[in-house]
Structure 1
Amino acid sequence: MRVEQLGDGTPELAIVGGIHGDEPSGVSAVERLIEASPPVERPVLLVIANERAIEAGERYLDADLNRVFPGDPDADAHEKRLAHELAERLQGTTALSMHATQSHPEPFMVSDRIDPLVERLGRSLPVESVVDTGEFIQGRLFRAIRTIEIESGLQGSDAAEAAAIRIAIAFLEELGALSGPVAADLRERFGVEPGPASASVPVFRLTRSVPKSGTDDHLVSVNNFELVDAGERFATADGVPVVAEEEFYPVLLSAEGYDEIFGYAAEKITELSSEPPQSAE
Structure 2
Amino acid sequence: MNNVKVEILGDGEPQYAVIACVHGDEPEGWDAIQRFKKSGYEVNEPLKLVLANEEAKAEDERFLEKDLNRVFPGDSEGVHEERLAAKLFDELKGMKSLDLHTTNSRAASFAIISNPNETEKQLAESTGIEKVVDMSFVEGGMDDELDMVVAEASREGETTDHLYKTIINFLAAEGVIDEDFRQTDPEFFHVYDKEEGTNYRFTAQNFQLVQEGEVFAEKEDDTKIASEDFYPILMSTDGYDDMIGFKARKTEL
Using structure 2 for the length normalisation, give the TM-score: 0.92
Is the contact between residue 119 and residue 147 of structure 2 (CA under 8 Å) also seen in structure 1?
Answer: no
TM-score, normalized by length of structure 1?
A: 0.83
Deviation (angstroms), 1:22? 0.9
Moved over 6 A (4+): none
* 1:108–1:150 CA contact under 8 A, matched in 2: yes
Query: Structure 2: how far apart are the matches of 1:46 and 1:158?
Result: 25
8 Å CA contact 1:41, 1:177 repeated in 2: yes
Give the conservation status (yes or no) of the 8 Å contact 2:29–2:100: yes
Question: 1:35, CA displacement in angstroms?
Answer: 3.7
Provide the residue aligned with 2:159 in structure 1.
160
Aligned position for 2:94: 92
1:246 aligns with one of 195, 213, 228: 228
Pairwise CA RMSD of aligned residues? 1.9
Alpha-carbon distance between aligned partners in 1 of 2:240 and 2:121, rounded to the nearest angstrom: 29
What is the deviation of 1:260? 1.4
Q: Which residue of 2 aligns with 1:225?
A: 207
> Which residue in 2 is equivalent to 1:143?
144
Query: Rg bigger for which structure?
Result: 1
Structure 2: gaps of 5 or more residues = none
The answer to whether the aligner puts 1:67 opposite 2:66 as a matched pair is: no
Judging changes above 3 Å, is the alpha-carbon distance between structure 1 residues 5 and 126 closer, same or farther for their aligned structure 2 residues?
same
Which of 32, 52, 56 is equivalent to 1:53? 56
C-alpha distance in structure 1 between counterparts of 2:73 and 2:44, whole Å: 29
What is aligned with 2:108? 106
Deviations 1:80-139 (A, max 9, x none): 1111111111122111000010103421010013333343344443323000112x1111
- In the alignment, which of 181, 188, 191 is matched to residue 206 of structure 1? 191
Question: Equivalents in 2 of 1:70, 1:37: separation in Å?
Answer: 35
- Contact 1:106–1:128 (Cα < 8 Å) also in 2: no
User: What does residue 173 of structure 1 align with?
Assistant: 172
Could you give the per-residue CA deviations for residues 204-258 of structure 1, whole angstroms, max 9, x where no partner exists?
000101111xx5x320000000000111000013342110111110000012111
- Tell me the SS of whatever aligns to 1:139: coil
In 2, the alpha carbon distance for the partners of 1:20 and 1:82 equals: 12
Query: What's the counterpart of residue 14 of structure 2?
Result: 11
Instruction: Report if aligned partners of 2:113, 2:150 keep a CA contact under 8 Å in 1.
Output: yes
Could you tell me how far apart the structure 2 residues matched to 1:34 and 1:139 are? 30
Asked whether the 8 Å contact 1:34–1:46 carries over to 2, the reply is: no
Q: Any idea what SS the aligned residue of 2:30 has?
A: helix
* Secondary structure of 2:158's aligned partner: helix
* Partner of residue 20, structure 1: 23
Q: Percent identity among equivalent residues?
A: 34
8 Å contact 1:30–1:48 — kept in the other structure? no
Match of 1:277?
none
